[in-house]
């Protein structure tokens, strides 16, 4: 079955840029979405359709996609951005969705 | 306000079956896909499947095909996730989620239903 691959963890100091990648064979044809998951909370959408930011999401969150790799960038990461981040997309047929394995972002 | 409200936490014994619900409000329930997502303790999000309540078109992730049943009752704006022959490994948080028709994103999540399977 289709898989999206993320690195397990990323660590940055406050104010630095964090980049989280997601790779999948269908990403050239399917949008990537990014979700932030904090303990005890439902996931929050931070990027949709590769690079669009929902209202209310800080400008430091941005997304891009090139070939088989989608990237979530947090410019000037803050301690409050510490969370697990999941990419989400669809398989080539569009019949079902897939989450990446998640990336734990540490900001300290 | 768009809301998905899930049924409460469940404690089950191995071998028992389970049916959890997800009631949508604040939007046209029949015209948005509703999906189910599992998060096992300490693990990541897993996409289980999705249903279009308007015509009950249902798609399952290959990992969950045959393992769960997703259904919907549009008369009461409620989607369901059914699991039978529960195992301890089914212990997880289960979320329902609405998929946006415009962006394809999951734009609304239920609060989650914690299912514990233990003898």
Report pLDDT digits (tens) over B87-100. Answer: 999 999 999 999 98
- Summarised one tens digit per residue, pLDDT across range B54-100 is 999 999 999 999 999 999 999 999 999 999 999 999 999 999 999 98
* Residue B31 neighbours by CB distance under 10 Å: 10
Q: Contact A48/B102 with Cβ under 8 angstroms?
A: no
Cα of B54 to nearest chain A Cα, Å: 17
Q: Give the residue among A67, A75, A102 at the shortest CA–CA distance from A19.
A: A75
Contact A49 B63 (CB under 8 A): no
Residue with tokens 């990336």: A103
**Pairwise CB contact (< 8 Å): B44 & A48:** no
d(CA B57, CA B3): 22
CB nearest to A96's CB, from B47, B105, B110: B47
> In sequence order, what are the residues at sequence separation of 6 or more whose Cβ sits closer than 8 angstroms to the Cβ of residue A32?
A22, A47, A50, A63, A65, A70, A87, A88, A89
φ/ψ of residue A101, rounded to 5 = -75, -10
Q: How far apart are CA A43 and CA A85, in angstroms?
A: 9
Q: What is the pLDDT of residues A53-82, one digit of tens each?
A: 999 999 999 999 999 999 999 999 999 999
A 68-97 residues inside an 8 A Cβ radius of B: 84, 86, 88, 90, 95-97
Q: How far apart are CA A98 and CA A3, in angstroms?
A: 7
User: Tens of pLDDT along B1-38?
Assistant: 999 999 999 999 999 999 999 999 999 999 999 999 99
**DSSP letter at B54?**
T
């Amino acid at each position: 079955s289709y898989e999206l691959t993320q690195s397990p963890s990323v660590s940055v100091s406050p104010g630095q840029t964090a980049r989280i990648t997601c790779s999948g064979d269908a990403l050239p044809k399917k949008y990537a979405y990014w979700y932030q998951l904090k303990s005890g909370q439902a996931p929050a959408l931070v990027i949709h359709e590769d690079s669009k930011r929902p209202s209310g999401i800080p400008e430091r969150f941005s997304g891009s996609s090139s070939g088989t790799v989608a990237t979530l960038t947090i410019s000037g990461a803050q301690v409050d951005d510490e969370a697990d981040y999941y990419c989400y997309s669809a398989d080539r047929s569009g019949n079902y969705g897939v989450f990446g394995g998640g990336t734990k972002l540490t900001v300290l | 306000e768009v809301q998905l409200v899930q049924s409460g936490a469940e404690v089950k014994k191995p071998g028992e079956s389970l049916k959890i619900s997800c009631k949508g409000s604040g939007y046209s329930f029949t015209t948005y896909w509703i999906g189910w997502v599992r998060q096992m303790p300490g693990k990541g999000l897993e996409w289980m499947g999705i249903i279009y309540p308007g015509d009950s078109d249902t798609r399952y992730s290959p990992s969950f095909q045959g393992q769960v049943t997703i259904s919907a009752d549009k008369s009461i704006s409620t989607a369901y996730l059914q699991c039978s022959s529960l195992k301890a490994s089914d212990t997880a948080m289960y979320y329902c989620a609405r998929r946006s028709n415009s962006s394809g994103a999951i734009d609304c999540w239920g609060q989650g239903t914690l299912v514990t399977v233990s003898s």
